[in-house]
Amino acid sequence: MFIHLHWHSTFSFLEAIGKPAKIAARAKELGMSSIAITDYNGMFGAIKFFQACKDEWIKPIIWVELGFVLDVSSTNPVDSIWNLVLLAKTTKWYSSLLELTSYANTIWVKNKPKVDLAALRNFSDWIVCFFWWIQSWIGKMILRDEPREKIIEIIRMLQSILGEDAVYWEIIAQLHSENKELERVNQYIFELCQELDILCIVNSNYHYIKKTDKEAWEVALAVKDAKKIYENDRRQPKGEYYIMEKEDVVEILEKNWYNLDQIEKMISNNLKLAESFAVDIALWQVLFPNYESPESILEIYEKVKNDLIENVD
Protein backbone atom coordinates (compact mmCIF):
# COMPACT_ATOMS: atom_id res chain seq x y z
CA MET A 1 0.00 0.00 0.00
CA PHE A 2 1.17 3.52 -0.77
CA ILE A 3 0.19 6.61 1.25
CA HIS A 4 0.27 10.02 -0.43
CA LEU A 5 1.66 12.68 1.92
CA HIS A 6 1.89 15.59 -0.53
CA TRP A 7 -1.05 16.76 -2.59
CA HIS A 8 -3.21 19.73 -3.49
CA SER A 9 -6.96 20.08 -3.86
CA THR A 10 -9.28 22.63 -5.40
CA PHE A 11 -8.61 24.72 -2.28
CA SER A 12 -5.19 25.52 -3.74
CA PHE A 13 -7.23 27.84 -5.98
CA LEU A 14 -6.48 27.04 -9.63
CA GLU A 15 -3.10 25.48 -8.82
CA ALA A 16 -4.85 22.13 -8.48
CA ILE A 17 -8.25 20.53 -9.05
CA GLY A 18 -10.19 17.90 -7.13
CA LYS A 19 -12.75 18.32 -4.36
CA PRO A 20 -11.90 16.79 -0.97
CA ALA A 21 -14.86 14.37 -1.12
CA LYS A 22 -13.78 13.00 -4.50
CA ILE A 23 -10.15 12.72 -3.36
CA ALA A 24 -11.17 10.77 -0.27
CA ALA A 25 -13.42 8.52 -2.36
CA ARG A 26 -10.59 7.84 -4.81
CA ALA A 27 -8.20 6.98 -1.97
CA LYS A 28 -10.79 4.55 -0.58
CA GLU A 29 -11.29 3.05 -4.05
CA LEU A 30 -7.56 2.42 -4.33
CA GLY A 31 -7.47 0.70 -0.94
CA MET A 32 -5.51 3.42 0.87
CA SER A 33 -5.88 3.63 4.65
CA SER A 34 -4.90 7.30 4.78
CA ILE A 35 -4.25 10.33 2.60
CA ALA A 36 -2.95 13.85 3.22
CA ILE A 37 -3.91 17.41 2.29
CA THR A 38 -1.16 19.98 1.67
CA ASP A 39 -2.86 22.93 0.01
CA TYR A 40 -0.92 26.07 -0.80
CA ASN A 41 -0.91 28.95 1.71
CA GLY A 42 -4.04 28.01 3.63
CA MET A 43 -6.09 25.31 5.35
CA PHE A 44 -9.41 26.34 3.86
CA GLY A 45 -10.32 22.79 2.84
CA ALA A 46 -9.20 21.07 6.06
CA ILE A 47 -12.67 20.59 7.58
CA LYS A 48 -14.27 19.37 4.34
CA PHE A 49 -11.34 17.04 3.83
CA PHE A 50 -11.54 15.74 7.41
CA GLN A 51 -15.27 15.07 7.08
CA ALA A 52 -14.84 13.39 3.68
CA CYS A 53 -12.13 11.05 4.97
CA LYS A 54 -14.17 10.13 8.02
CA ASP A 55 -17.14 9.33 5.76
CA GLU A 56 -14.88 6.97 3.80
CA TRP A 57 -13.35 5.48 6.98
CA ILE A 58 -9.82 6.51 6.12
CA LYS A 59 -7.40 8.59 8.18
CA PRO A 60 -7.09 12.27 7.19
CA ILE A 61 -3.63 13.85 7.45
CA ILE A 62 -3.70 17.63 7.53
CA TRP A 63 -0.76 19.68 6.31
CA VAL A 64 -0.15 23.00 4.60
CA GLU A 65 2.46 24.15 2.09
CA LEU A 66 3.76 27.63 2.86
CA GLY A 67 6.33 29.96 1.41
CA PHE A 68 9.47 30.35 3.48
CA VAL A 69 12.14 33.04 3.81
CA LEU A 70 15.01 33.40 6.25
CA ASP A 71 13.77 36.70 7.68
CA VAL A 72 10.48 38.37 6.72
CA SER A 73 11.76 41.74 7.95
CA SER A 74 14.41 41.94 5.24
CA THR A 75 14.09 42.28 1.48
CA ASN A 76 14.82 38.98 -0.23
CA PRO A 77 15.49 38.29 -3.89
CA VAL A 78 13.10 35.94 -5.66
CA ASP A 79 15.57 33.02 -5.56
CA SER A 80 15.66 33.28 -1.75
CA ILE A 81 11.98 32.35 -1.41
CA TRP A 82 11.31 28.66 -0.88
CA ASN A 83 8.46 26.31 0.00
CA LEU A 84 8.11 23.90 2.88
CA VAL A 85 5.34 21.54 3.89
CA LEU A 86 4.21 21.56 7.52
CA LEU A 87 2.10 18.87 9.18
CA ALA A 88 0.06 18.37 12.32
CA LYS A 89 0.53 15.07 14.13
CA THR A 90 -1.98 15.66 16.93
CA THR A 91 -5.09 17.73 17.54
CA LYS A 92 -3.02 20.21 19.58
CA TRP A 93 -0.56 20.53 16.70
CA TYR A 94 -3.49 21.07 14.33
CA SER A 95 -4.57 24.10 16.35
CA SER A 96 -1.01 25.41 16.33
CA LEU A 97 -0.75 24.84 12.58
CA LEU A 98 -3.88 26.94 12.11
CA GLU A 99 -2.23 29.69 14.14
CA LEU A 100 1.00 29.49 12.16
CA THR A 101 -0.89 29.56 8.85
CA SER A 102 -2.84 32.61 10.01
CA TYR A 103 0.44 34.28 10.95
CA ALA A 104 1.86 33.52 7.50
CA ASN A 105 -1.11 35.22 5.88
CA THR A 106 -0.37 38.42 7.78
CA ILE A 107 3.25 38.42 6.51
CA TRP A 108 3.52 38.76 2.76
CA VAL A 109 6.73 38.68 0.73
CA LYS A 110 6.57 38.92 -3.08
CA ASN A 111 2.75 38.94 -2.80
CA LYS A 112 2.52 35.56 -1.06
CA PRO A 113 2.13 34.42 2.58
CA LYS A 114 5.42 33.52 4.23
CA VAL A 115 6.95 32.14 7.42
CA ASP A 116 10.57 32.56 8.47
CA LEU A 117 13.08 31.00 10.86
CA ALA A 118 11.75 33.02 13.79
CA ALA A 119 8.24 31.67 13.20
CA LEU A 120 9.56 28.13 12.97
CA ARG A 121 11.35 28.59 16.29
CA ASN A 122 8.14 29.83 17.92
CA PHE A 123 6.21 26.78 16.72
CA SER A 124 9.04 24.24 16.77
CA ASP A 125 7.38 22.10 19.46
CA TRP A 126 4.32 21.46 17.32
CA ILE A 127 5.30 21.00 13.68
CA VAL A 128 7.00 18.50 11.43
CA CYS A 129 8.16 19.54 7.99
CA PHE A 130 9.66 18.17 4.84
CA PHE A 131 11.52 19.79 2.00
CA TRP A 132 11.30 18.71 -1.57
CA TRP A 133 12.31 19.23 -5.19
CA ILE A 134 13.35 22.54 -6.80
CA GLN A 135 10.91 24.74 -4.87
CA SER A 136 12.53 23.94 -1.53
CA TRP A 137 15.45 25.72 0.09
CA ILE A 138 17.76 22.75 -0.40
CA GLY A 139 16.52 22.12 -3.94
CA LYS A 140 17.44 25.64 -5.05
CA MET A 141 20.81 25.41 -3.34
CA ILE A 142 21.53 22.19 -5.22
CA LEU A 143 20.62 23.71 -8.57
CA ARG A 144 22.86 26.71 -7.83
CA ASP A 145 25.80 24.36 -7.16
CA GLU A 146 26.27 25.70 -3.65
CA PRO A 147 28.92 23.93 -1.51
CA ARG A 148 27.90 20.63 0.01
CA GLU A 149 29.16 21.79 3.41
CA LYS A 150 26.79 24.77 3.30
CA ILE A 151 23.82 22.55 2.44
CA ILE A 152 24.65 20.22 5.33
CA GLU A 153 24.97 23.22 7.63
CA ILE A 154 21.46 24.36 6.66
CA ILE A 155 20.09 20.87 7.31
CA ARG A 156 21.70 20.75 10.75
CA MET A 157 20.31 24.19 11.57
CA LEU A 158 16.77 23.08 10.69
CA GLN A 159 17.20 19.94 12.76
CA SER A 160 18.34 22.03 15.71
CA ILE A 161 15.21 24.20 15.44
CA LEU A 162 12.61 21.52 14.75
CA GLY A 163 14.27 18.37 16.06
CA GLU A 164 16.05 15.61 14.18
CA ASP A 165 12.91 13.48 13.98
CA ALA A 166 10.82 16.37 12.64
CA VAL A 167 12.64 17.02 9.37
CA TYR A 168 12.10 14.77 6.37
CA TRP A 169 13.33 14.90 2.78
CA GLU A 170 11.17 13.99 -0.16
CA ILE A 171 11.84 12.26 -3.45
CA ILE A 172 9.32 13.19 -6.17
CA ALA A 173 8.09 10.18 -8.15
CA GLN A 174 8.19 11.63 -11.66
CA LEU A 175 10.25 10.38 -14.59
CA HIS A 176 13.78 11.75 -14.60
CA SER A 177 13.87 11.39 -18.37
CA GLU A 178 11.29 14.19 -18.60
CA ASN A 179 12.90 16.57 -16.12
CA LYS A 180 16.67 16.76 -15.68
CA GLU A 181 16.46 19.30 -12.85
CA LEU A 182 14.28 16.89 -10.91
CA GLU A 183 16.74 14.08 -11.55
CA ARG A 184 19.60 16.17 -10.23
CA VAL A 185 17.78 17.22 -7.04
CA ASN A 186 16.29 13.78 -6.37
CA GLN A 187 19.67 12.04 -6.64
CA TYR A 188 21.43 14.63 -4.48
CA ILE A 189 18.76 14.47 -1.76
CA PHE A 190 18.68 10.68 -1.78
CA GLU A 191 22.46 10.41 -1.39
CA LEU A 192 22.46 13.06 1.34
CA CYS A 193 19.71 11.27 3.27
CA GLN A 194 21.77 8.09 3.25
CA GLU A 195 24.92 9.93 4.29
CA LEU A 196 23.27 11.88 7.14
CA ASP A 197 20.80 9.14 8.17
CA ILE A 198 17.73 11.30 7.45
CA LEU A 199 14.39 9.68 6.68
CA CYS A 200 13.49 9.95 3.02
CA ILE A 201 9.87 9.75 1.85
CA VAL A 202 8.41 9.62 -1.67
CA ASN A 203 5.41 11.35 -3.23
CA SER A 204 4.02 12.08 -6.67
CA ASN A 205 2.91 15.59 -5.53
CA TYR A 206 -0.47 15.15 -7.17
CA HIS A 207 -2.61 18.08 -8.31
CA TYR A 208 -5.54 16.19 -9.83
CA ILE A 209 -7.33 12.93 -9.12
CA LYS A 210 -7.12 10.69 -12.18
CA LYS A 211 -4.64 10.50 -15.03
CA THR A 212 -7.33 11.66 -17.45
CA ASP A 213 -7.79 14.91 -15.47
CA LYS A 214 -4.49 16.44 -16.59
CA GLU A 215 -6.02 18.57 -19.35
CA ALA A 216 -8.58 20.01 -16.91
CA TRP A 217 -5.73 20.88 -14.55
CA GLU A 218 -3.84 22.67 -17.31
CA VAL A 219 -7.01 24.65 -18.09
CA ALA A 220 -7.14 25.75 -14.44
CA LEU A 221 -3.48 26.84 -14.60
CA ALA A 222 -4.17 28.80 -17.78
CA VAL A 223 -7.16 30.54 -16.18
CA LYS A 224 -5.04 31.52 -13.18
CA ASP A 225 -2.26 32.86 -15.38
CA ALA A 226 -4.72 34.69 -17.69
CA LYS A 227 -3.61 32.54 -20.62
CA LYS A 228 -5.50 30.81 -23.40
CA ILE A 229 -5.26 27.03 -23.55
CA TYR A 230 -3.89 27.25 -27.10
CA GLU A 231 -1.06 29.67 -26.18
CA ASN A 232 2.37 28.02 -26.31
CA ASP A 233 3.76 29.99 -23.37
CA ARG A 234 1.14 28.77 -20.89
CA ARG A 235 2.21 26.45 -18.09
CA GLN A 236 2.47 22.84 -19.28
CA PRO A 237 4.09 20.86 -16.42
CA LYS A 238 6.00 17.78 -17.43
CA GLY A 239 4.99 14.59 -15.69
CA GLU A 240 1.87 12.91 -14.33
CA TYR A 241 0.52 14.47 -11.12
CA TYR A 242 -2.47 12.25 -10.31
CA ILE A 243 -3.26 10.00 -7.33
CA MET A 244 -0.95 7.12 -8.11
CA GLU A 245 -1.23 3.56 -6.89
CA LYS A 246 1.79 1.84 -5.39
CA GLU A 247 2.46 0.05 -8.67
CA ASP A 248 2.67 3.38 -10.52
CA VAL A 249 5.14 4.80 -7.99
CA VAL A 250 7.31 1.68 -8.05
CA GLU A 251 7.37 1.63 -11.87
CA ILE A 252 8.51 5.25 -12.07
CA LEU A 253 11.18 4.85 -9.40
CA GLU A 254 12.52 1.72 -11.09
CA LYS A 255 12.81 3.64 -14.35
CA ASN A 256 14.71 6.28 -12.36
CA TRP A 257 17.22 3.54 -11.39
CA TYR A 258 16.28 3.09 -7.73
CA ASN A 259 16.43 -0.55 -6.63
CA LEU A 260 13.51 -2.35 -5.01
CA ASP A 261 15.01 -2.23 -1.50
CA GLN A 262 15.42 1.54 -1.73
CA ILE A 263 11.90 1.96 -3.10
CA GLU A 264 10.28 -0.19 -0.43
CA LYS A 265 12.18 1.69 2.28
CA MET A 266 10.85 5.07 1.10
CA ILE A 267 7.29 3.74 0.76
CA SER A 268 7.58 2.21 4.24
CA ASN A 269 8.70 5.60 5.63
CA ASN A 270 5.53 7.16 4.19
CA LEU A 271 3.42 4.52 5.91
CA LYS A 272 5.17 4.87 9.28
CA LEU A 273 4.83 8.64 9.17
CA ALA A 274 1.13 8.37 8.29
CA GLU A 275 0.55 5.97 11.18
CA SER A 276 2.03 8.47 13.65
CA PHE A 277 -0.73 11.04 13.00
CA ALA A 278 -3.72 11.29 15.32
CA VAL A 279 -5.71 14.45 14.62
CA ASP A 280 -9.35 14.45 15.72
CA ILE A 281 -11.35 17.58 15.00
CA ALA A 282 -14.56 17.96 17.04
CA LEU A 283 -17.32 18.80 14.56
CA TRP A 284 -20.85 20.15 14.89
CA GLN A 285 -20.22 22.14 18.03
CA VAL A 286 -20.62 25.81 18.91
CA LEU A 287 -17.21 27.36 19.55
CA PHE A 288 -18.40 30.83 20.56
CA PRO A 289 -17.84 31.56 24.27
CA ASN A 290 -20.88 31.58 26.55
CA TYR A 291 -21.16 34.93 28.31
CA GLU A 292 -23.47 35.07 31.33
CA SER A 293 -25.54 38.24 31.42
CA PRO A 294 -25.69 40.15 34.73
CA GLU A 295 -28.99 40.17 36.60
CA SER A 296 -29.25 43.92 36.03
CA ILE A 297 -29.15 43.55 32.24
CA LEU A 298 -32.66 45.02 31.81
CA GLU A 299 -31.73 48.09 33.82
CA ILE A 300 -28.60 48.56 31.71
CA TYR A 301 -30.63 48.13 28.52
CA GLU A 302 -33.22 50.72 29.60
CA LYS A 303 -30.51 53.21 30.56
CA VAL A 304 -28.66 52.83 27.24
CA LYS A 305 -31.96 53.10 25.32
CA ASN A 306 -32.97 56.25 27.15
CA ASP A 307 -29.53 57.81 26.62
CA LEU A 308 -29.77 57.12 22.88
CA ILE A 309 -33.28 58.68 22.72
CA GLU A 310 -32.08 61.78 24.54
CA ASN A 311 -29.09 62.15 22.17
CA VAL A 312 -31.38 61.87 19.15
CA ASP A 313 -33.66 64.55 20.51
Would you say 221 and 15 are in contact if contact means Cβ atoms under 8 Å apart? yes
Residue 307 falls within a domain, yes or no? Answer: no
Residue 33 falls within a domain, yes or no? Answer: yes
Residue 294 falls within a domain, yes or no? Answer: no
76, pLDDT greater than 60: no
* Sequence letter at residue 161: I
Would you say 8 and 38 are in contact if contact means Cβ atoms under 8 Å apart? yes
Q: What percent of the chain has pLDDT over 90?
A: 45
Residue 308 falls within a domain, yes or no? Answer: no
What residues contact 25, with CB distance under 8 A and at least 6 apart? 52, 56
Say how many C-beta atoms besides its own lie within 10 A of residue 252's C-beta: 21
pLDDT, tens digit, for every residue of 192-203?
999 988 889 999
Mean pLDDT of 104-120: 81
144, pLDDT greater than 80: yes
Would you say 224 and 8 are in contact if contact means Cβ atoms under 8 Å apart? no
Instruction: Give the domain CATH number at 282.
Output: 3.20.20.140
Question: pLDDT at position 104, please?
Answer: 87
Look over the chain and give the mean of its residue pLDDT values, rounded to a whole number.
Answer: 87
Domain count along the chain: 1
User: What's the CA gap between 142 and 145, in Å, rounded?
Assistant: 5
Question: pLDDT at position 176, please?
Answer: 94
Domain that holds residue 91: 10-287
pLDDT, tens digit, for every residue of 167-187?
888 999 999 999 999 999 999
Residue 299 falls within a domain, yes or no? Answer: no
pLDDT, tens digit, for every residue of 276-299?
888 888 888 777 777 787 777 888
Mean pLDDT of 240-260: 95
Instruction: Look up the pTM and report it.
Output: 0.83
Residue 296 falls within a domain, yes or no? Answer: no
